[in-house]
Amino acid sequence: MKNSKILTLAILASLLSTPCAWAAHKTTAAAAATSAQTETAKPAKAEKAAAKAEKTTEKTAPAETTVAETTAAEPLPADNYSAAKMVSGEKTALADSYAALVADESALLVKNGADVTLSHGAITKSGATTDVLGSKFHGQNAAVLAADGALAMDGCTIRTEADGANAVFATGSKGSVKLHDSNIRTTGASSRGLDATEGGTITADNINIGTTGIRSAALATEPSGASVTVSKSTINTSGEGSPLVYSKGTIKVSEVKGTAGASEIAVVEGNNSIHLEYVDLSGNGSHGVMLYQNKTRDNGPDGKALGRFAAKGSALRSLKEGPLFYVTNTAARIYSEMTTMQYLGGTLIRVEANQFGDAGTNGGDLTFMANNQGLYGNVSVDASSTILMDLQNGSHWSGAINTDNTGKKVDVNLDASSSWSLTADSHVDGFTDGTTALTNLKGNGHTLYYNSSSAANAWLGGKTYELQGGGYLKPEK
């Protein structure tokens, strides 16, 4: 481990150009993937206009301050949105630049089935929104807004300098934006790079996104049925509560690099997903990746709703102490394949209840699948939470689980090609192993305690087994 830490320090020192003393954990391995920190609420400037201002509080990440987003009025209907350039219901090609200078005005609005292309245009937006939630959910005050219209942009620049001014926004089942070879910058609070809601879709490649305001994710989706797909690009954020990727829909990212300067790498809220392939992403939040449900836990009508996060062939770096993966108040599935992981501290995964949801039902339920994946670090599970660690296809884990024996239900499965090396005494409810000889379980002087009354452990016969490297697999007393 010492040599591994030294190597990781050297790598990160070169990346950050800043000397720092921290323990990094690196994992690498070799092959297909399946399909998660929240935009942390920070104080927004009160809007001057609102005699009828109403405050809406959105709970956010553990250990972070919960504050209100301020809305000055009811969101404007999309039909009432104004724009410096509006195209409605027609097909046209544009090659101009557009600027919006006043509140609630977009620079370019495409709506009502319009089909528009814009080449080498410069889009600028100033003038703050009068309704932050209208901007967040409906695209009010966005620089570029596709509301049930289609827009293709090539070689464009988009810059916003106001609160509640998203750069590119798609909403409605016919709302779509395609971007190529374009540059995006936002400087205000609640001003995301790409954002899609209500069935809207955004696809982008060869773009560069930078946001500096609080609550300003580079890539985001809001309910319901929206998707964002980005490839071969660079994304960065520097504001607090501004993860690189924030999903309340479907977000797919491939061959992308970026850093969140004061927030997490990725956040999945509710029954939604983030899928990463061949990315190199870093974060500076309380967790590397978070999957959660903001309000009362909703498992859907079939009881199967869950947040989903997948990473394949990627590098995930969490540069602030805390678990790399954090799950609370939701059922979740995390899939990891051939991915390098670096983080501060010794906790790889934490699953627990906190301030979200209703006490007693707000724990996390996580299935973590490692496919040809190396894992280093401990797994923490509280009395309200469950976890299944499933190691497949040559995966290796060096770490401990449920060391204080508080987890509601804790299971570990190893296939015959995978292995686990204990770093502390651990407690599980169920332990299954594709190798009944237990040659892939190394004790290192520690004991793995199992529940002899669990049907999953019937194959162990309630017996005690001596492990390689010293230590035991034995029934819990």
| Residue 392: strand pairing partners | 371
d(CA 309, CA 289): 9
The pLDDT score that the predictor gives to residue 54 is: 30
- Concatenating the DSSP letter of every residue in 394-433 gives S-EEEE-B-TTS--SEEEEEE-TT-EEEESS-EEESEEEE
| φ and ψ of 3, to 5 deg | -65, -40
Coil vs helix vs strand at 132: helix
pLDDT in tens, 31-63: 333 333 344 433 333 333 333 333 322 334 432
Q: Which residue has the tokens 């992403």?
A: 281
Shortest CA distance to 200 belongs to which of 236, 271, 146? 146
Residue 116 is encoded by which pair of tokens?
């528009």
- Concatenating the DSSP letter of every residue in 234-294 gives EEEE-STT--SEEESSEEEEEEEEEEESSS-SEEEESS-EEEEES-EEEE-SSSSEEEE-S
Per-domain residue ranges of the chain:
74-216
pLDDT tens string, the chain, 477 residues long: the values are 334 333 333 333 333 333 333 333 333 333 333 333 344 433 333 333 333 333 322 334 432 222 234 444 456 666 789 999 999 999 999 999 999 999 999 999 999 999 999 999 999 999 999 999 999 999 999 999 999 999 999 999 999 999 999 999 999 999 999 999 999 999 999 999 999 999 999 999 999 999 999 999 999 999 889 999 999 999 999 999 999 999 999 999 999 999 999 999 999 999 999 999 999 999 999 999 999 998 766 654 455 569 999 999 999 999 999 999 999 999 999 999 999 999 999 999 999 999 888 888 899 999 999 999 999 999 999 999 999 999 999 999 999 999 999 999 999 999 999 999 999 999 999 999 999 999 999 999 999 999 999 999 999 999 999 999 999 999 997
| Cβ-Cβ contacts under 8 Å for 154 (sequence gap 6 or more) | 117, 118, 119, 120, 179, 180, 181, 182
| Cβ-Cβ contacts under 8 Å for 289 (sequence gap 6 or more) | 36, 37, 264, 265, 266, 267, 268, 309, 316, 324, 325, 326, 334
Q: Determine if residue 393 is left, alpha or beta; phi over 0 gives left, psi from -120 to 50 gives alpha, anything else beta.
A: left
Shortest CA distance to 305 belongs to which of 314, 317, 296? 296
CA torsion 287-196-225-229 (nearest 10°) is -70
CA torsion 416-420-426-428 (nearest 10°) is -20
Shortest CA distance to 150 belongs to which of 184, 201, 104, 76? 201
AA identity, residue 308: R
d(CA 354, CA 365): 13
Shortest CA distance to 442 belongs to which of 467, 466, 418, 425? 467
